[in-house]
Amino acid sequence: MTTPAGGLSLFDAARAMGVPFTTEVSPSDGEVVVRGFKFHYLDWGNQTRPPMVLLHGRTNAAHTWDFTALAFQDRFHVLSLDMPGHGDTAWSPSADYTLNTTAPLVASFIDALDLKSLYLIGHSMGGRNALVYAAQNPGVVKALVLVDMAPEVSREPASLGWRVLPAETDTFEEFVQAALKVNPRRSPEQLRGSLAHQLRQYPSGKWSWKWDPALREADTNGWGPDRLWPWAEKIRCPTLLARGGDSDLIPDAVVERMRRTLPNFKSVDIPGAAHQVHGDRPALFIQAVRGFLDSLAQ
């Protein structure tokens, strides 16, 4: 979908939000079938650079990472996935979006593209998948960034803003105004640009989300802290936890346990950001990630 009337292009939106980038680059669409399951992803070029894989959260899509990808595409071969059930990736025929299903699929995707020595960033649901992948593949992941997600949280992110947004509307603009009420941290112009990738107009004429409706109620965890903490203990790569300063999802006690458990662990709180850290305050998020990655090269 092209930028809607009253919306901003990616590059204008990035400049308006203070996102640093060197070149106006747009991604190409990629598709790969693994385990009989179709994945769609965005490839931001620079295939000779180290790979950076971006895993989005529940009810988002690959384009949620556009600011991040734009900022890092000059240093990395950035790949952002549509996770199972989201965007243009296939839906689960059994509506199973727990880690039992998604973690093996993500691993198979990375294997299919033969990605080595990668930098892995995951938000929310994608953060859990990133945590598990890093734990199970210590020789593959060079560095891990968890965005407002940890082995243990105060509640499930399913209780956050998207749950109160409409299932469908008569117009695209109705969604924009509803989203603005839920998250006033973003401008209407930015929301029009981002929602252009999150919504589609169906044959009925109604506008609705580009994700499986089962995700409104589906469990995207399935493991719980009793199973996730032992996996976290197996992580050996440097790890950054980026919490939203206005998010109460991850208690301080959990951060301290991660500090004791994970080697070379750092955490940062992004002021003015809620759960959608990288979208709410993209420039500060990118600055934090860049500082973390630069510290690894010293």
User: With 0-12 CB in 10 A as exposed, 13-18 as middle and 19+ as buried, what is 28?
Assistant: exposed
pLDDT above 90 as % of the chain: 74
- Selected residue with higher pLDDT from 190 and 177: 177
pLDDT for residue 172: 87
63-89 residue pLDDT tens: 999 999 999 999 999 999 999 999 999
Average pLDDT of the chain, as a whole number: 91
The range of the structural domain enclosing residue 139 comes to 10-296
pLDDT for residue 163: 64
Residue 194 has pLDDT above 80, yes or no: no
Residue 1 has pLDDT above 70, yes or no: no
CATH number for the domain harbouring residue 81? 3.40.50.1820
pLDDT for residue 253: 98
1 falls within a domain: no
pLDDT above 70 as % of the chain: 94
Residue 168 has pLDDT above 70, yes or no: yes
Residue 292 has pLDDT above 80, yes or no: yes
pLDDT for residue 297: 84
Residue 170 has pLDDT above 50, yes or no: yes
Residue type, 97: Y
- Domains in the chain: how many in total? 1
pLDDT for residue 188: 78
**Alpha carbon distance 50, 297 (integer Å):** 13
203-248 residue pLDDT tens: 999 998 889 989 988 899 999 999 999 999 999 999 999 999 999 9
83-106 residue pLDDT tens: 999 999 999 999 999 999 999 999
> Band of the pLDDT at 202, cuts 50, 70, 90?
confident
pTM for the model stands at 0.92
30-41 residue pLDDT tens: 999 999 999 999
pLDDT for residue 161: 54
pLDDT for residue 2: 46
pLDDT for residue 136: 98
pLDDT for residue 89: 97
3 falls within a domain: no
Pairing of strands 141-147, 239-244: parallel
* Among 85, 75, 142, 82, CA closest to 115: 142
pLDDT for residue 157: 64
- Selected residue with higher pLDDT from 201 and 137: 137
> Band of the pLDDT at 16, cuts 50, 70, 90?
confident
